[in-house]
A and B are shown apart, each in its own frame.
Chain A
Amino acid sequence: MSALLEVKDLETQFKVRAGKLHAVNGVSFSLKQGEMLGVVGESGCGKSVTMMSLIRLLPPSASITNGSVMFEGVDLVKANKEQINAVRGSKIGMIFQDPMTSLNPFVKIGVQLSEGLMYHKSMRKKDAYDRCAQYLDMVGISNSRHRLEEYPHQLSGGMRQRVMIAMALVSEPKIVIADEPTTALDVTIQAQIVDLVKGLREKLDTSIIWITHDLSLLAGMVDRIMVMYAGCVVEEANLRDLYKDPRHPYTIGLLNSIPRLKNNENRRLRSIPGQPPNLLQKPASCPFASRCAFKTERCDRENPGLESVPGDDGASGHRIACWADTRGRI
């Protein structure tokens, strides 16, 4: 299956008072039709900025300085305003983190939901509303006709996130980017939303990019995971390989530092010492070197690129950005 989305060497910078903040430093990945990709990393690692860069949904202080994003034969980095508008919301949908602030409190749910349909698909209001009600039903909101006439404050947090999901899906996009959609929700509601998204994905065959800081959450839902650190992808692997055979020292550290619900009796958490680097300087060597237990002299000189893991012919797609061979050293 060929790739639906192909990202190459993407770099995004922010202008800040102290200079340039190198938020994304050469990210490459591809996404297939119907695939669910998890992107995990700590705050400030560039996971959201990378995905926002795909549809150029960035603040004025940010600019994409390098790379390409190929989607349906168009390079979105170079696309003009009309081309990008035709993609945003229509072919690539977004689910934002905070349903409390991403819905306009003054505008009825129905108007907010149908806006995209009327704009992108030139649908008439009545048809758009029919379609919206149908999608609200699909995301598990009862009495959907009536809900279209309500305002966001009349819904609970979980319901609002369902509305956001319906909004992202209603124009039947090829790709949905979900930026920490459950972080603001309680665990029982999170379980509902995850179940819902998994079900919808099977039904609609949409590709989903799910951004999160919670590695545990991804274990039950995605096909492939990308681990990001300091604006770089440090490891990419199939779901099972990442959890059962992590190779990058940062991924290993992250997995070790999560408290487990099962079999965790009196285990002292192995935390990663230190803090993420300051990105005002573009990392010239491995950005994780200062916190890494496997550090060699080479790590301070050269930044490793993302390569197939040692002992792998590349077929599994398991890649890491690390000079060390960490096999059997955990």
Chain B
Amino acid sequence: MNAEVKQPKVLMKVENLVKHFPVRLGAYGEKKAVVHAIDDISFDIYRGETLGLVGESGCGKSTTGFALLQLYKPSSGKITFDGLELTAMEEKALRPVRKRAQIIFQDPYSTLNPRMTILDAMAEPIRVHNLLPEKEIPARIAQLLDDVGLNFSFANRYPHEFSGGQRQRICIARALASNPEFIVCDEPISALDVSIQAQIINLMMDLQEKYKLTYLFIAHDLAVVRHISDRVVVMYLGKIMEIADKKELFDNPKHPYTKALLAAVPEADPDHERNKSRVILTGDVSNAIDPPSGCRFHPRCQYAKDACKKAQGPQLIKVAPGHLSACPYF
């Protein structure tokens, strides 16, 4: 990405997105409550980039990915994909968009139907969208399998015959089957072993280059996000804390939460680990059913002032070109 030279084109625009889930609590479900999964977030995804989305479990990062693809209907807000306002469209009208925007899930064990052969699983998007006549499908599958480094001889096998890494390759190939422009990658490597993770990351970067894909890469592993992303969004408890170019975010983090998150990641270097400044966050992530007032991070923030607890939380403010932070003090 070279933002200074060429103005990047926005592929997906998210404006004031909100997603609340109604839940019932108590032993008999007698209490109604609302989980504030996403509360008023806005960001853009540029064509051809990888936008990393990081945060701890329960911060709403997966919900955001699902809402972008209209797999969850947002409670309010506007999502625009290549000029089409997805949030205003009917399910039927969304169909043609669905083949352009795909998803790779976290767990390659539960997202492949155990009773479908690899060929059937991969051919399903092609058949559903009527992209190719039936007799051309095997050739297309062969090419897709080749793209992800698998052999066509595997096509008639069932998922249980494959290892985790191979299954994730199949899931990637299936996501590519409908020639998408945009792929939401929902923690695609966190269920895999370290040496296999590296293979999949390299594969995803190669495919992005080959097919000019745009990724929303959701992960909790900051080192992986740093490796693959162009820009990074940091979320905490349903809110965006910071957005910046990768280099800027990792070298010059502004928000106290981003700083604490970066400090918590262990580095495979004993000297660095011994000498690093230790900022250990106290306490747990607050509950999304009853989120704290004001800045969502204030109960764990060592710099919290009284103003941080006031009703309206801080807005994202520009601290440098392309760098937004939701903390007015840093």
Q: Is A281 an interface residue (CB 8 A)?
A: no
Whether A186 lies near B268 (C-beta < 8 A) is: no
Contacts of A150 in B (CB 8 A): none
Q: Is A219 an interface residue (CB 8 A)?
A: yes
Q: Is A1 an interface residue (CB 8 A)?
A: no
**How many residues of chain A get a CB closer than 8 Å to chain B's CBs?**
48
Whether A191 lies near B220 (C-beta < 8 A) is: no
Q: How far is the CB of A196 from chain B (nearest CB, A)?
A: 9
Contacts of B264 in A (CB 8 A): 187-188, 190-191
Q: How far is the CA of A219 from the CA of B263 in the complex (A)?
A: 14
Whether A259 lies near B201 (C-beta < 8 A) is: yes
Q: Is B4 an interface residue (CB 8 A)?
A: no
Contacts of A265 in B (CB 8 A): 247
User: In chain B between 260 and 300, which residues have their CB closer than 8 angstroms to a CB of chain A?
Assistant: 260-274, 278, 280-282, 284-285
The stretch that binds B, out of A12-20, A131-139, A209-217, is A209-217
Q: How far is the CA of A262 from the CA of B270 in the complex (A)?
A: 13
Contact mask for chain A residues 239-265; partner B; CB cutoff 8 A; 1 contact, 0 none: 110011000000001111111111011
**How many residues of chain B get a CB closer than 8 Å to chain A's CBs?**
44
Q: How far is the CB of A169 from chain B (nearest CB, A)?
A: 20
Q: How far is the CB of B192 from chain A (nearest CB, A)?
A: 9
The stretch that binds B, out of A54-62, A109-117, A267-275, is A267-275
Q: How far is the CB of A46 from chain B (nearest CB, A)?
A: 14
The stretch that binds A, out of B12-20, B113-121, B175-183, B223-231, is B223-231
Q: Is B202 an interface residue (CB 8 A)?
A: yes
Please give me the residue from chain B that is nearest to A225 by CB atom.
Answer: B270
Whether A188 lies near B269 (C-beta < 8 A) is: no
Q: Given the known A-B contacts A186-B57, A186-B285, are A257 and B270 also in contact in the complex, defined by CB atoms under 8 Å?
A: no
Q: How far is the CA of A105 from the CA of B265 in the complex (A)?
A: 31
Q: Is A189 an interface residue (CB 8 A)?
A: yes
Q: How far is the CB of B164 from chain A (nearest CB, A)?
A: 8
Whether B281 lies near A191 (C-beta < 8 A) is: yes
Q: How far is the CA of A189 from the CA of B267 in the complex (A)?
A: 16
Please give me the residue from chain A that is nearest to B300 by CB atom.
Answer: A188
Whether B56 lies near A272 (C-beta < 8 A) is: no
| A187, A257, A262: the one within 8 Å of B56 (CB) | A187
Contacts of B270 in A (CB 8 A): 219-220, 239-240, 243-244
Please give me the residue from chain B that is nearest to A182 by CB atom.
Answer: B266
Q: Is B25 an interface residue (CB 8 A)?
A: no
Whether A258 lies near B194 (C-beta < 8 A) is: yes
Q: Is A325 an interface residue (CB 8 A)?
A: no
Contacts of A275 in B (CB 8 A): 163, 165, 196
Please give me the residue from chain B that is nearest to A191 by CB atom.
Answer: B264
| B163, B202, B260, B266: the one within 8 Å of A268 (CB) | B202
| B57, B195, B220: the one within 8 Å of A42 (CB) | B195
Q: Given the known A-B contacts A257-B198, A258-B223, are A216 and B267 also in contact in the complex, defined by CB atoms under 8 Å?
A: yes
Q: How far is the CB of A220 from chain B (nearest CB, A)?
A: 3
| B269, B281, B282: the one within 8 Å of A243 (CB) | B269
Contacts of B199 in A (CB 8 A): 271-273
Whether A191 lies near B263 (C-beta < 8 A) is: yes
| B163, B202, B261: the one within 8 Å of A187 (CB) | B261
Chain B contacts to A: CB under 8 angstroms: 56-57, 163, 165, 193-199, 201-202, 205, 220-224, 226-227, 247, 250, 260-274, 278, 280-282, 284-285
Chain A contacts to B: CB under 8 angstroms: 42-43, 156-159, 186-192, 194-195, 213-221, 239-240, 243-244, 253-262, 264-265, 267-273, 275
Can you spell out 6 A-B residue pairs with CB atoms less than 8 angstroms apart? A187-B56, A191-B281, A244-B270, A262-B269, A275-B165, A275-B196
A213-B194, A260-B267, A261-B267 are known; give 18 further A-B pairs, CB within 8 A: A42-B194, A42-B195, A187-B56, A187-B261, A188-B56, A214-B194, A216-B267, A219-B266, A219-B268, A220-B266, A220-B274, A254-B194, A259-B221, A261-B223, A261-B265, A262-B269, A272-B195, A275-B165
